Chain A
Amino acid sequence: MFSEAGLSVSLRVRDGAVAAALIRSTRMVQAARLFAKRPPTEVLHLLPTVFSLCGTAQAMTGLNAMEKAAAITASPAQKAARTLLVLAETVTEHGLTIARDWPALAGGQPRLDHAKRIRGALAGLRGTLYPQGDWLSPGGGTLTADCDRICAAIDQARQAITQLMGHDIDELVLPIAFQAWLERDPTHLPGLVQAKGWAGIGAAPFLPMPEMGPPDLAARMATDRDGQYLARPDCAGRVFETGSLAHWSWHPLISDLMDRFGAGLLPRLAARLVALAEGLREMEELVRDLKPEPACSLPGLSGEGLTLTEAARGLLAHRVVLNDGKISQYQILAPTEWNFHPEGPLVRALHGLPADPDLEWKVRLLINALDPCVACAITLE
């Protein structure tokens, strides 16, 4: 029987506060080892299905790693198309969380109609860019630059998000507009969090992931014989946080909120909105870099490739070793292994939370804000 992988968080309460948070994971962090001996095309076909939650980011990171190992450089237009697809997935994932999960976490009903509209708007982008279906062709597939259709899809997503939020998303991430929105509509999760005085819950020492990833990433992955690093990554003992807050902490809205609330719940929720707004804006800019191109082919080369992608949930790393065009090693390090590390950002955020009647609700909010890619159970001890 194939059990669904997941996370569990056990909280130990002493003297009216969380004294310890224990995270257990059944995630299959070494499963990618079985990609060894398979041809790259087969693995590229499997990646978006097997890792479907961030399937585009997983497939693109794998494709980029294979190209790096084979010393192939994709053209600027191909890179723009790939970034567009990853951003479409990021926007969709954040949109789904905000439409489906946030209302439920605030005690309301999921807004599935909005969730469906956001997803539907961007779902056809892959087929528009690569109508022959060869989007995962090493070196680049047959790229079609139907800019009008792509812009229309982005605009549809923008309209669906505006309707969901009741506000233009670009304006919403301006500090003054955000504050006014919070006060005007306390039924939205961020408004509720502010009204309840929970904006700063979970604030703890903030260790954001460096923009280019951990400096020792390549060496640690290359020497990770038993998979310990993939399961519990660190950098000289530090466990970084990755994801929206870490990536957008410099943004004026997030910087303002972190000045007031630290790395607490409200800045985390706001960082998801910033990721959504900035993702849409970058997509619109990338359309200009597209141009039609024929497909390329992957020569049977040998080499090693490590690539990083800022995916919806944070930094995703794939490392591949090719021998004569065949895969001999494959490793994946996903953002959840950082954020839900037994000594990582979730544990830091939970430590010291008061054990009041709302404790489980607050824990669920913090878990959702850090956004695991698997189900996460909570137990109180």
Chain B
Amino acid sequence: MCMAVPSRVVSIDGQMAVVEAFGQTRQTSLMMLDEPVAVGDYLILGAGGNFAAEKVSEETALAAIDYLSQVLEDGLA
């Protein structure tokens, strides 16, 4: 399924950010986002992860991460 994992912003360098999700870090571009992004924000990445597609609230991100953790625990991932 085309599931997206909310990723937390760890650092920002210009239009690029390092984000973390489930212990994995990766670089992504912030160029497609209109709103300002700060360290600690949660982002949804587009397919392939090259571009951040959307900023989501911490509450929404944590609820999604909780659900995805259960997907992982139940072996459905």
Contact = CB atoms under 8 A, between A and B. Distances in A.
B39 interface: no
Contacts of B56: 49
A51 B60 contact: no
A51 B77 contact: no
Contact of B76 (A33, A42, A112, A372): A33
Contact of B72 (A2, A29, A45): A2
Given A4-B49, A31-B71, A49 B32 contact: no
A29 to B, nearest CB: 6
B34 interface: yes
A5 B32 contact: no
B33 to A, nearest CB: 9
A51 B31 CA distance: 21
Interface stretch (A74-82, A116-124, A263-271): A116-124
Contacts of A34: 67, 70-71, 74, 76
A52 interface: yes
Interface in A12-41: 27-34
Interface residues of B, number: 34
A49 B4 contact: yes
Contact of A112 (B32, B54, B74): B32
Contacts, number: 93
Contacts of B67: 34, 46, 50
A34 B56 CA distance: 22
A151 interface: no
A42 B6 CA distance: 17
6 contacts: A28-B71, A50-B3, A50-B67, A51-B2, A334-B1, A372-B47
Interface of A: 1-5, 27-34, 42, 45-46, 49-54, 100, 112, 115-116, 119-120, 123, 332, 334, 336, 372-375
Given A2-B21, A2-B68, 4 more contacts: A28-B76, A29-B1, A46-B63, A119-B32
